[in-house]
Structures are given as structure tokens and as C-alpha cells.
Amino acid sequence: MNSMSAFQPLKYLLFLIVVSIMISCSSEGDHDNMTPEVPLITRKITIDPSTVHQRIVGFGGCNTVFRGANNYPRRSDMQKAFGLGDNELGLSIFRVSVPVDSARWAAVAEVAGYAQEQGAIVFASPWDAPSYMLDPAHDEKRILPEFYDEYVDHLNAFDAYMSRNGVDLHAISMQNEPDIGEWTQWTVSEVEDFMINHAGRINNTVITAESFNFSMEYYTGLLQDSAALANFEIVGGHIYGNGLGPIPLAEEQNKEIWMTEYLLNLDADSGWSNIGETRKWAESIDMLETIHESMESNWNAYVWWYLKRYYSFIGEGEQGTAEGAILKRGYAYSHYSKYIRPDYHRIDVGGDGSNNLKVTAYEGDGRIVVVILNDRSISTTAEISVAGAGSIGSVESYITSLNKNREAGAATIEGAAVLQTIDPSSVTTVVIEL
């Protein structure tokens, strides 16, 4: 026992020497030989231009509604939002409010004019009706039916004012969110009455009432009534909590489908600047997924809430943002808005069955635009081919991730395919010229 006990320290010393030698050799060797790089899995993506889906009207944002005319975006903001330059976002739709007070119309026309200068289309949504039209018997704001025609006159007066001041409204809706909020509310039967018997007098293209979450009860009756169908061209709505998916009845009636408002801000109006960038980026990925799903649902337009706000596309100097600075969420949104232009068409996308990426593709102006959303924490490689194309003429790509703001990617052409590395948790746009 005593001899064995004496041997223990020597045995332990020899063990330490061996371990030290092993560590030394490892540190002097090639680290890559210790942890060889795992080859990226290649995801095959096949674009089929012969299968054409919906026409794209565009992607947009809204002016300030509740914060007063002095807080509307400036001309320089609108240049950044709607311009097509290197440091611009390429939005193509601008949503404005219809203030009850006509004294505020001039400010709306001014900022809308900035968007129109950049080639954007402008549409309008009313929040409130003039107070004298409201039913005093209701706690909610509800228009008395005998004032429906005067409500039409109110909308027409705004439309005419905008036209006189150089803004050609593309369309006007009958109501922002008739089913929730402190603004004017409408029941389903009231909406149907107005759309069937009064909306035909509106002097512009009409958008339906924009339900808070595309509640189909506000649309089904209209889409099945010939008199109502004659009085509107666009089915508009929002996707707060629900409502994101195909609307076959609208497609059958050849009505456009517009998502006219959505926002995400982590419920952090008082503490956005204290939230980490990783969490903010994860929420931006959520935003991008709703755009992807809207496009796959055959919707024609997607319009975010305020285009200038700390949780949106351009900072206004609050919650740690710099006044007038393009924000990461703006760069992310521009993967759709800047490269998928009005009158492009979504085309079909196929794959090899193992593709975990979210991919949509579009064709217009002689080019194909592929938007690839990777919501996973691993990299992969996309191999993109175009059915029927014998060769690829040129390609460029752009990437936004937690650490990149629409940076140029390294897409390469190999034969008749494009290879593009897809970063973890990222959005990538690939522009192909055949």
C-alpha cells in the first residue's frame, strides 16, 4: 500500500506532461484540420416563367396619421423611401389619410406630391367622418345612413382637392378598419348598404372597407353581389392577428387584393431603444415572412404602416434612431420594394423537395427577380435555374442580415444555373438577366 501510494504523484505528473504535449501539438497545428468545415447543403430552386401568377401593383408605406401634419415625412425622406438609387428603398405605393378637417389637406397633398414625384401611386383611407354625420345614440362613431351620400361628397371633395394640387389619387377606400378602433365603425350590413347603394358615386377607384384582420364577413357578401361588384375594384384589408391567406372569391371576380396596413414593434413604444438588435432582426424576419405569404396568396400589393418611424424604414430621431436615417428594417423591406417593380408578375418556383427556404420569383423588364428568405440559423447554398433558359446572361445579388444592410452578394454563374450562398437568418434578392 505504501509503495503504491508513493507511485501516485509520479503517475499524475506523467499524465500532466502527456496532456501538455497534446495541447501544444494541437495549438501548433492547422486549426481547420481539427474542425473541418462542413460542406454547405445545396438547395435546388427552379424558376418557371411559363406559369404566371398575380400582377404586382407594388410595396408601400403610410404617412403619419395621428401625430399631426408637422410630423409628416420630408421631401428628403420621401426621396430615400421611393427613390431607386443605391441608398434608397424603391417603395412604389404611398397611403395617406383623409383628415376630417380640410385645413389639414394641404399638408397631406404636399407629402403625397413628394411620393408621386418619385413615380409612386397614392391612395387614401378615411379614419373618421365629419362629426355632424355621426349617430348620437351610439357610443361608437357610426354614420347615420341618411348621411351616406354626404359622406361620399366628403370623399369626393378630398379627391378633387388632391387633384387640384397635383396629386392624382389611384384609389380611395370607404373606411380604415370598420371593425375595431376609436375611429368610425361600420357593421357588415352597413358596409354592404353603402357599397351597393352609394359607393357608385365615388369619383375614383374604390377600395372596400379595410378590415382589421381581413374578416371575410366584410367581403363575402360584396363579392357575391353584382351591384356591389360594380362599385369597387380593390379588396383591401389588414393582417393583425389573422387574415393572411388566399381569397379565392376576389380572384374569381378579378378584384385586386391589397394588404393596406401592418406593423410590428415588439409592443415597445416606450422601450424600443433598450431591445437588442438580435430580437429586432428576428421580428423583421417575421415581417418578411408576411410579405412572402401575401405574395404566395396571390395578393397584388403590400403596404406597411408608417414609413418613417423608429420601428419602420426611416428613423425620426426617437428611440435611438437618427432623424432621416434608413433603418435595417427598411433595407430588409427593400428586397421586395426596390427590385420587384409595379407590373411585374409573380412566377412559379419549384425545388428538389428538400428546400427549407422561402422563395418567390417575379418577372418584368426582361429580368427575373428571386427573393429568398432564410429564417433558420444555418447557411446553405441556393442553386437557381430557370426552366427553358439555355444560359444565364448576368446576375447580381443583395443580402440583408443581422450584420448586413443590403450588401452585394457573391452570386456566380455556373453553366445554366446561379449559385448563391444564403446566410443564416437573412433575406437575399437575386436579379437574373437571361
**Cell 415588439, residue located:** 266
Given 88, 177, 256, 363, the catalytic residue:
177
Exposure string (b/e) for 60-71, b if CB count within 10 Å is 16 or more? bbbbbbeeebee
Contacting residues for 322 by C-beta, under 8 A, at least 6 apart: 315
Q: Where are the beta strands (DSSP E) in 165-233?
A: 171-173, 206-207
Of the CA atoms within 13 Å of residue 107, those in its CB half-sphere come to 18
Q: Distance between CA atoms of 361 and 247, rounded to whole angstroms?
A: 20
Grid cell digits, residue 403? 450584420
Which among 398, 386, 407 has a CA at the least distance from the CA of 428? 398
Whether residue 177 lies in the annotated active site: yes
The answer to whether the CB of 409 falls within 8 A of the CB of 431 is no
Q: Which helix (H) or strand (E) holds 400?
A: strand 394-401
DSSP structural state of residue 102 = G
Q: Distance between CA atoms of 298 and 335, rounded to whole angstroms?
A: 18
Q: Which helix (H) or strand (E) holds 197?
A: helix 188-197
Q: Distance between CA atoms of 54 and 35, rounded to whole angstroms?
A: 47
Q: 349: how many CB neighbours lie within 10 A of its CB? A: 22
Grid cell digits, residue 330? 427598411
**Mode of pairing for the β-strands spanning 417-422 and 380-386:** antiparallel
DSSP 3-state of 121: strand
Grid cell digits, residue 333? 423591406
Given 88, 192, 261, 363, the catalytic residue:
261
Q: Which residues are catalytic?
A: 177, 261
